[in-house]
């Protein structure tokens, strides 16, 4: 007989069921099988009851389907198993699925049955089998016999080897769980040889060992597949860790221009931001990784490491991480691993000839073998690729659809190359493109990698390039990847091919300059050619300052893309401009960080500009008068501290983004901005002297406006009805215009007062401010805020006189109130409200009714001042853990008291972690982000939807990511299904 349990799987095919158990009912149903079912329930594995299936002489059709749709089959080979032709037919079908579909088969030799008796059909087991065979056809008996032989050869659990049957059953359940958890994501199902790599890596990682942490290296040449193996491994095992992250493409980070300490700080910020899911984290010392992660079981993959400083910054000691943690480092440099004393390393071997040929064929022919006539060519191509997976993939894509004679020509070109094989392989893909496709490839490599395809199409709109078809061709040949959102991604090796390709032509014939010496020659000596399309110039690569020749850029009449940047971000001015410098006439992209002039030259022709980025410039003015700006889509003047005015932008009818944030000398936004029909984002944050902003009511495309930190701007400008995100100063609420009634699209509103914390990185969309302002603070929020029917997020920050909150929109899901020291009351949330997050940090005067409203929100996480666990949480314990017993409930609410050890004015963001275990098995993990700068004891409340259907012992364990925050007490309440109101019960 059989049973199974259904679910979907992420294996290489879609499995309807996870487990199918084949057994002889009278032998085991009321004993072994019932105990196995109970253990499976404890481990979260359920089994179907098969007694509803009618028995017969042949296997039932529904069981045949169930076998074929199951990921794992378990054979319980008891004494009378072979007495049932039904069981024997099941066995034949199971082994057929094992061979054809890769089904996992596990065996249990039960009730005195020895594997050799099954294998050879001897002993009592053999006698039973012989009786079953009486009167059967020869072919049927042969299939049964062979199936039993094969089953006897499958290693499994043998009851005679166990002193305790229950311990054997526990191990079987663990093995089933591990095998189900080890199925690989569908993202990697077609990768040749990936399973073998993963099995070897998992054996090195010793995932069953819980003591201590471990660092393991993956080493091999570029293009061998290190990153792919690491990604597949992350996909497979990350769910078994509390926290995990994949730090990609770390190579080159040591060339950022930062000193060693600054570099390590930056790398640690990136890692912590990613693993803790907090964008833009800032830290002030190098002890943050061990402080945050020393008690966490983490999986961290450091991909493409090429410098010892990177490892010293990110994984210098295994003691930085909690027990059971695994750190995986991929690199081309074996010596680097040895210097860091990383002694466990997986060296990625080249695939076998057969595997390499299959990789090439999958990309060239979309099948695992070469069709007739191409067998020899495929072998030659595989050999010339040196079995390098990346080269095989690129080569196969390039050869797809080519005729035999084209193959021979391309292979001859590859074979006769004089550059190293890996570069030759990648270069061949570039050389296979026509002239226009090559130009597009080079432009992406230098200017547009990771840009949106729409942006690239706009930049090249009036060129002779067919961008849509070109992008499709590059993606087809595996030279770029196009995401579903349209992002263009080119592999760094291919990008390097493009950069090197720009330097192969004679200087006068080059379309793009990237080499520093060539650029200096062109700018100082007027040697730039008329054929130049683009210049990408890192000014930090020059030793001395340069004087640009007045006519240098004018000679480059076809120059469209000028990108000048400084990776070091230092204050040294390296580029000096002549007063009468001429710009080329066809510029579309002008990206010049730290532009040294006070004004752009009058020779700049703006009619072709699509993007003008002059961040951190010395500009006081852009230009005088009105300019033709019909193609301009983005204008970024951020942190141009000397900028005193904006020009007339009336002709910028296609402008979508305007950023003047941190322009501290700017007093007025030009009135023309109020009539830009396509403007989507306007950022004026921290323009401290800004006093005049025109009405934005007529901006039909406007979505995001930021005016935080503009404390001299007292009046809120009229807003367009299309606004979705708004960040303002609290005094602007006093003059909320009638247009608020039209803001049906507003989803996020941030209001800042005079007492603003210095760090707000728990909410990455809130600008980090250090604003002090004297003067009146608001005492109330206008009642009309309830009419913002689409509002989902409301943040109120540092309003010390605010005493109450009015009725808020029913659409609100997040309410954050910080440092509102006078706040006492709030109105109940409207019926049907689905509030999810409530923060009342340092709002110390909340009255009892307000606290009741906050605490009784059922499916909500909340943070508010408090020193006592509320009475509703009837299970309580001092400290950070609590065990309860529950018969049935539809979820839980948890509450903990957290207390800072001292004032945390400069503290980093912190997280509260909760791990829930049921009957000894972890079931859920939660991370609750807590605001920084908490000054007193607070309650953190959150919930779980984990449904309990039978008696269980449930352990709740709470921890903090920093030692600066102590968990004093915790409490839990069980929830039941709501009827007319929330119900609680104690059990």
Q: Which is more confident, 477 or 602?
A: 602
Whole-angstrom distance, CA of residue 445 vs CA of residue 467: 15
The mean per-residue pLDDT over the stretch 568-578 comes to 74
Q: Which is more confident, 346 or 483?
A: 346
Q: Which is more confident, 96 or 767?
A: 96
Maximum CA extent, the chain? 107
Judge whether residue 611 has pLDDT over 70.
yes
Q: How far is CA 314 from the centre of its chain?
A: 19
Looking at residue 183, its pLDDT comes to: 55
Looking at residue 320, its pLDDT comes to: 94
Looking at residue 46, its pLDDT comes to: 57
Looking at residue 784, its pLDDT comes to: 83
Looking at residue 2, its pLDDT comes to: 35
Please give the full DSSP string across 361-428, using - where no structure is assigned: HHHHTSSSSPPTT-HHHHHHHHHHTTT-HHHHHHHHHHHTT--HHHHHHHHHHHHT--S-HHHHHHHH
| Residues in contact with 196: Cβ distance below 8 Å, sequence separation at least 6, in sequence order | none
Q: Which is more confident, 960 or 760?
A: 960
714-764 residue pLDDT tens: 778 888 889 999 998 877 776 665 556 778 889 999 988 877 554 433 233
978 exposure class (CB count in 10 Å sphere: 0-12, 13-18, 19+):
exposed
Annotation says 90 is catalytic: yes
348-360 residue pLDDT tens: 887 888 888 888 8
Yes or no: say if 346 and 201 are a contact pair by the CB < 8 Å rule: yes
Whole-angstrom distance, CA of residue 316 vs CA of residue 310: 9
C-alpha dihedral sign at 206, 208, 211, 212: positive
**Least confident among 187-196, 316-325, 895-904:** 187-196
Looking at residue 25, its pLDDT comes to: 87
Looking at residue 773, its pLDDT comes to: 45
Looking at residue 144, its pLDDT comes to: 94
DSSP H helices, 162-296, are: 165-181, 194-205, 226-237, 260-275, 288-293
197-227 residue pLDDT tens: 888 898 899 887 878 899 999 987 677 888 9
Residue with tokens 């045949």: 64
398-426 residue pLDDT tens: 888 888 888 887 777 655 544 355 566 56
53-72 residue pLDDT tens: 555 545 567 778 888 878 88
Looking at residue 817, its pLDDT comes to: 93
Judge whether residue 803 has pLDDT over 60.
yes
Looking at residue 736, its pLDDT comes to: 61
Provide the mean pLDDT of the chain: 83
Looking at residue 738, its pLDDT comes to: 57
| Percent of the chain predicted with pLDDT > 70 | 86
Yes or no: say if 867 and 851 are a contact pair by the CB < 8 Å rule: no
Instruction: Considering only CA atoms, give the Rg of the chain.
Output: 34
| Residue from 90, 157, 634, 908 carrying the catalytic annotation | 90
Looking at residue 478, its pLDDT comes to: 61
Pairing, β 984-985 against β 938-944: unpaired
Residue with tokens 């945050």: 292
Residue with tokens 């292979």: 411
DSSP 942: E
Whole-angstrom distance, CA of residue 169 vs CA of residue 702: 63
Q: How confident is the model at residue 6 (pLDDT cuts 50, 70, 90)?
A: very low
The mean per-residue pLDDT over the stretch 262-277 comes to 88
Yes or no: say if 567 and 540 are a contact pair by the CB < 8 Å rule: yes
Residue with tokens 């890192």: 538
Q: How confident is the model at residue 188 (pLDDT cuts 50, 70, 90)?
A: low
| Percent of the chain predicted with pLDDT > 90 | 35
**Exposure string (b/e) for 202-231, b if CB count within 10 Å is 16 or more?**
eebbebeeeeebbbbbbbbebbbbbbbbbb
Whole-angstrom distance, CA of residue 501 vs CA of residue 511: 10
The mean per-residue pLDDT over the stretch 616-639 comes to 93
Judge whether residue 11 has pLDDT over 60.
no
Instruction: Extract the tokens encoding 760.
Output: 């707000």
Looking at residue 894, its pLDDT comes to: 92
Instruction: Extract the tokens encoding 353.
Output: 């000839």
Judge whether residue 562 has pLDDT over 70.
yes
Q: How far is CA 384 from the centre of its chain?
A: 36
Q: How confident is the model at residue 529 (pLDDT cuts 50, 70, 90)?
A: confident
Whole-angstrom distance, CA of residue 551 vs CA of residue 565: 21
Q: Quick check: pTM over 0.75? A: no
Whole-angstrom distance, CA of residue 977 vs CA of residue 766: 37
Q: Which is more confident, 24 or 978?
A: 24
């Amino acid at each position: 007989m059989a049973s199974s349990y259904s679910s979907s799987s992420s294996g290489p095919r879609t499995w309807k069921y996870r487990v199918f158990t084949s057994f002889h009912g009278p032998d085991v149903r009321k004993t072994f099988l019932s105990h196995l079912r109970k253990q499976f329930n404890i481990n979260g594995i359920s089994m179907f009851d098969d007694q509803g299936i009618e028995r017969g002489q042949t296997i039932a059709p529904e069981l045949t389907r169930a076998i074929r749709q199951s990921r794992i089959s378990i054979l319980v080979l008891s004494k009378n198993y072979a007495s049932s032709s039904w069981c024997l037919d099941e066995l034949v079908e199971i082994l057929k699925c094992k061979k054809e579909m890769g089904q996992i088969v596990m065996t249990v030799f039960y009730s005195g049955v020895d594997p050799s008796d099954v294998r050879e059909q001897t002993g009592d087991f053999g006698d039973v089998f012989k009786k079953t065979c009486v009167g059967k056809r020869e072919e049927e008996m042969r299939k049964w016999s062979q199936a039993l032989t094969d089953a006897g050869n499958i290693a499994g659990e043998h009851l005679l080897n166990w002193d305790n049957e229950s311990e054997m059953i526990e191990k079987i359940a663990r093995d089933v769980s591990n095998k189900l958890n080890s199925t690989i994501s569908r993202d990697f199902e077609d990768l040749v040889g990936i399973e073998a790599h993963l099995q070897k890596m998992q054996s090195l990682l010793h995932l069953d060992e819980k003591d201590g942490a471990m660092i393991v290296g993956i080493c091999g040449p570029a293009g061998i597949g290190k990153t792919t193996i690491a990604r597949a491994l992350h996909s497979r095992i990350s769910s078994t860790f509390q926290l995990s992250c994949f730090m990609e493409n770390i190579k080159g980070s040591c060339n950022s221009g930062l000193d060693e300490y600054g570099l390590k700080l930056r790398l640690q910020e990136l890692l912590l931001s990613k693993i803790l899911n907090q964008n833009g984290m800032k830290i002030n010392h190098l002890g943050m990784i061990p402080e945050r992660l020393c008690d966490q079981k983490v999986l961290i993959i450091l991909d493409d490491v090429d410098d010892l400083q990177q490892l010293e910054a990110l994984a210098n000691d295994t003691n930085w991480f909690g027990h059971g943690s695994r750190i995986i480092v991929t690199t081309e440099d074996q010596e680097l691993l040895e210097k860091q004393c990383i002694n466990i390393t997986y060296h990625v071997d080249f695939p076998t000839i057969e595997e390499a040929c299959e990789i090439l064929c999958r990309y060239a022919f979309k099948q695992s073998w070469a069709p007739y006539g191409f067998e020899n060519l495929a072998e030659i191509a595989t050999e010339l690729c040196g079995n390098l997976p990346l080269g095989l993939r690129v080569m196969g894509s390039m050869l797809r659809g080519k005729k035999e004679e084209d193959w021979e020509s391309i292979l001859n070109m590859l074979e006769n190359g004089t550059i190293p094989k890996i570069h030759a392989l990648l270069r061949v893909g570039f050389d296979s493109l026509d002239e226009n496709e090559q130009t597009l490839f080079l432009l992406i490599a230098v200017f547009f990698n990771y840009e949106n395809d729409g942006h690239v199409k706009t930049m090249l709109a009036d060129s002779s390039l067919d961008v849509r078809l070109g992008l499709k061709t590059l993606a087809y040949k595996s030279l770029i990847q196009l995401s579903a959102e349209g992002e263009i991604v080119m592999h760094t090796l291919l990008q390097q091919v493009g950069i090197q390709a720009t330097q192969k032509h004679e200087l006068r014939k080059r379309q793009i300059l990237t080499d520093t010496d060539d650029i200096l020659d062109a700018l100082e000596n007027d040697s730039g050619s008329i054929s130049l399309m683009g210049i990408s110039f890192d000014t930090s690569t020059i030793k001395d300052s340069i004087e640009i020749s007045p006519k240098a850029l004018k000679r480059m009449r076809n120059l469209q893309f000028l990108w000048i940047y400084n990776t070091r971000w230092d204050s040294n001015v390296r580029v000096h401009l002549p007063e009468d410098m001429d710009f080329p006439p066809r510029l579309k992209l002008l990206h010049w960080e730290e532009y040294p002039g006070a004004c752009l030259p009058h020779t700049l022709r703006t009619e072709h500009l699509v993007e003008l980025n002059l961040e951190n410039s010395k500009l006081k003015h852009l230009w005088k008068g009105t300019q033709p700006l019909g193609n301009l889509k983005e204008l970024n003047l951020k942190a141009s501290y000397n900028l005193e005015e904006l020009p007339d932008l009336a002709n910028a009818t296609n402008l979508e983004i305007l950023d003047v944030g941190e322009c501290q000398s700017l007093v007025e936004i030009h009135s023309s901005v109020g009539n830009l029909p396509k403007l989507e984002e306007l950022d004026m944050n921290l323009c401290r002297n800004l006093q005049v902003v025109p009405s934005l009511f007529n901006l039909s495309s406007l979505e995001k406006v930021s005016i935080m930190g503009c404390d001299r701007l007292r009046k809120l400008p009229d807003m367009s009805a299309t606004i979705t995100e708004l960040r303002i100063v609290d005094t602007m609420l006093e003059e909320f215009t009638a247009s608020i009634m039209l803001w049906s699209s507003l989803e996020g509103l941030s209001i800042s007062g005079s007492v603003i914390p210095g760090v707000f990185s728990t909410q990455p969309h809130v600008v980090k401010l250090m604003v002090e302002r004297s003067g009146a603070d608001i005492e109330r929020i206008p009642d009309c805020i309830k009419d913002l029917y689409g509002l989902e997020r409301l943040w109120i920050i540092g309003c010390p006189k605010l005493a109450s909150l009015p009725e808020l929109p029913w659409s609100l899901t997040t309410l954050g109130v910080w440092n509102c020291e006078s706040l006492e009351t709030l109105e109940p949330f409207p019926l049907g409200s689905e509030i999810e997050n409530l923060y009342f940090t340092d709002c110390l005067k909340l009255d009892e009714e307000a606290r009741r409203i906050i605490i009784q929100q059922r499916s909500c996480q909340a943070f508010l001042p408090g020193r006592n666990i509320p009475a509703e949480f009837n299970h309580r314990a001092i400290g950070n853990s609590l065990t309860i017993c529950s018969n049935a409930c539809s979820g839980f609410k948890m509450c903990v008291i957290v207390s800072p050890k001292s004032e945390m004015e400069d503290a980093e963001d912190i997280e509260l972690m909760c791990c829930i275990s049921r009957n000894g098995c972890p079931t859920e993990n939660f991370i609750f982000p807590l605001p920084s700068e908490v000054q007193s004891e607070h309650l953190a409340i959150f919930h779980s939807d984990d449904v309990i259907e039978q008696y269980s012992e449930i352990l709740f364990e709470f921890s903090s990511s920093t030692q600066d925050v102590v968990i004093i007490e915790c409490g839990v309440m069980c929830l039941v299904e709501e009827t007319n109101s929330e119900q609680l019960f104690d059990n």
